[in-house]
C-alpha cells in the first residue's frame, strides 16, 4: 500500500543483448507475459498479477544495463506538483510524450545524483490481461516457470547516494526503513520505500554512475524460491547466490544472471514497513550477515558485478 503520492516503481526499461535467449528467459522461465512491441527494438512485458499495462520494457542494445526506472504517482495533479518539486530540488526535467510506451501517458524524466534516469507518470491504462476483479480467481492462466507475480524493486549503484536518498525522501515522500554506514559514518547503502514493502528501491555507493545491481521480482513464498532455483539449474542459468535469506528486508531470495548479463533477483516475504517505525542501522562490518543471514559472508561477485 502506498503511503503517499508516489505509488510504486511501475516501469523499468532494461537493455538486453538479444531477443532470443533473453526474451525466452523473461517469458518462459521468469514467467512474465509479453504485452506488446515497440518497433523493432523494444518489447513490453508484465507479471501475471499486475494490473497496469506493462512493467518491464526490454530494449535491444549493444550493452546490457538500465535505461530508466519510472515511478507511478497518485494523480495528474500530484504529477505536476512533483515535477516542480524535482526542479526545485535542482534536477532539470524533460518530458516524454504520451504514447512513447503503449498504454502510458506523459512522463517526466530527470537524472539524479547517482547518474540514473528516473521518470514519473500518473496515467497508465489497465492491462487487457490483468488479474480478475469480479469474484476473481487467483489467476487466469497457470503461471509459468518461476511464477514471478510482479516487478518488486531494484538496487542501483552510483555516486553520492546520500543525495539520492534525500531526493527520495524530500521529493518522492518516501521513507528509509534500513541503512548501512561505513565506520566513518558515511552511507554505504540505503533501502527506501513509499509503501509497506521493505524496499521499493535501494542504493549502494559506487564510483561509476548509472549502474544496476539487480532487478527484483516478487514470488509467493519460500517454496517458489526453491522452484526458481530448479528453473535456474534446469536452464543452466548462472547462479550468483541463494536460495538465502536477507536479514536486511528479511526477504527470501535467490540471485542469478539472465542471458544478457543483467542480474535478477526473485524474492518473497520481507517485513511490513511503516514510516513511523525506527530505522534499522547496519555497520558495514556486519553487512555480510545483513545480506546473507545464513552464511554471514558476502561473496565478492555480489558486491563487485553490476551492469
Partner 1 sequence: MGENTYRINVLNTGAQFLCRQDEYVLEAMKKSGCGPIHYGCFGGGCGICKMKVISGSYRVDKKMSRAHISPEEETDGFVLTCCIKPTGNLTISQI
Which among Fe ion, partner 1, none contacts residue 304 (Cβ within 5 to 8 A by kind)? partner 1
Q: List the one residue from 1, 39, 40, 62 that touches partner 1 (CB under 8 A).
A: 62
Contacting residue, 10, 109, 145, 216, with Fe ion by CB under 5 A: 216
The correct pick among 47, 240, 248, 267 for binding partner 1 (CB under 8 A) is 240
Q: Which does 260 bind (CB under 5 to 8 A by kind): partner 1, Fe ion, none?
A: partner 1
| Binder among 64, 127, 190, 192 for partner 1 (CB under 8 A) | 64
**Judged by CB, which is closer to partner 1: 61, or 162?**
61
Task: Tell whether residue 258 is a contact of partner 1 (CB under 8 A).
Answer: yes
CB of 284 to Fe ion, least distance (A): 18
Query: Is position 257 an interface residue for partner 1 (rule: CB under 8 A)?
Result: yes
Binding-site partner at residue 257 among partner 1, Fe ion, none, CB < 5 to 8 Å by type: partner 1
Q: Which is nearer to partner 1, 183 or 300 (CB)?
A: 300
Taking CB under 5 A as the rule, does residue 265 contact Fe ion?
A: yes
- Shortest distance in whole angstroms from residue 92 CB to partner 1: 25
Which of 269, 12, 303, 66 lies closest to 180 in space, CA to CA?
303
Q: Enumerate binding residues for Fe ion (CB under 5 A).
A: 216, 265
Q: Which positions touch partner 1 (CB under 8 A)?
A: 17-18, 62-65, 238, 240, 257-263, 301, 304-307
Amino acid at each position: 500500500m502506498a503511503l503517499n503520492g508516489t505509488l510504486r516503481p511501475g516501469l523499468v526499461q532494461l537493455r538486453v543483448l538479444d531477443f532470443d535467449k533473453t526474451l525466452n528467459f523473461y517469458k518462459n522461465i521468469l514467467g512474465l507475459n509479453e504485452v506488446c512491441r515497440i518497433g523493432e527494438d523494444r518489447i513490453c512485458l508484465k507479471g501475471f498479477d499486475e494490473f497496469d499495462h506493462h512493467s518491464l520494457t526490454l530494449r535491444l542494445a549493444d550493452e546490457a544495463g538500465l535505461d530508466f526506472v519510472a515511478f507511478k504517482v497518485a494523480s495528474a495533479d500530484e504529477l505536476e506538483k512533483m515535477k516542480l518539486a524535482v526542479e526545485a530540488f535542482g534536477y532539470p526535467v524533460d518530458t516524454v510524450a504520451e504514447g512513447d510506451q503503449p498504454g502510458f501517458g506523459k512522463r517526466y524524466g530527470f537524472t539524479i545524483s547517482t547518474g540514473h534516469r528516473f521518470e514519473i507518470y500518473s496515467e497508465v491504462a489497465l492491462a487487457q490481461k490483468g488479474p480478475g476483479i469480479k469474484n476473481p480467481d487467483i489467476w487466469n492462466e497457470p503461471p509459468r516457470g518461476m511464477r514471478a507475480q510482479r516487478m518488486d524493486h531494484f538496487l542501483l549503484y552510483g555516486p553520492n547516494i546520500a543525495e539520492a536518498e534525500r531526493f527520495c525522501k524530500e521529493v518522492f515522500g518516501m521513507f528509509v526503513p534500513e541503512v548501512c554506514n561505513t565506520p566513518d559514518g558515511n552511507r554505504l547503502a540505503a533501502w527506501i520505500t513509499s509503501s509497506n514493502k521493505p524496499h521499493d528501491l535501494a542504493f549502494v555507493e559506487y564510483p561509476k554512475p548509472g549502474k544496476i545491481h539487480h532487478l527484483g521480482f516478487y514470488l509467493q513464498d519460500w517454496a517458489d524460491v526453491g522452484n526458481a532455483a530448479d528453473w535456474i539449474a534446469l536452464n543452466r542459468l548462472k547462479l550468483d547466490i541463494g536460495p538465502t535469506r536477507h536479514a536486511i528486508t528479511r526477504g527470501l531470495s535467490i540471485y542469478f544472471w539472465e542471458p544478457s548479463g543483467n542480474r535478477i533477483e526473485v524474492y518473497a516475504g520481507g517485513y511490513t514497513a511503516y514510516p513511523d517505525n525506527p530505522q534499522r542501522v547496519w555497520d558495514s562490518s556486519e553487512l555480510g550477515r545483513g545480506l546473507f543471514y545464513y552464511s554471514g559472508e558476502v561473496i565478492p561477485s555480489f558486491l563487485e558485478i553490476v551492469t
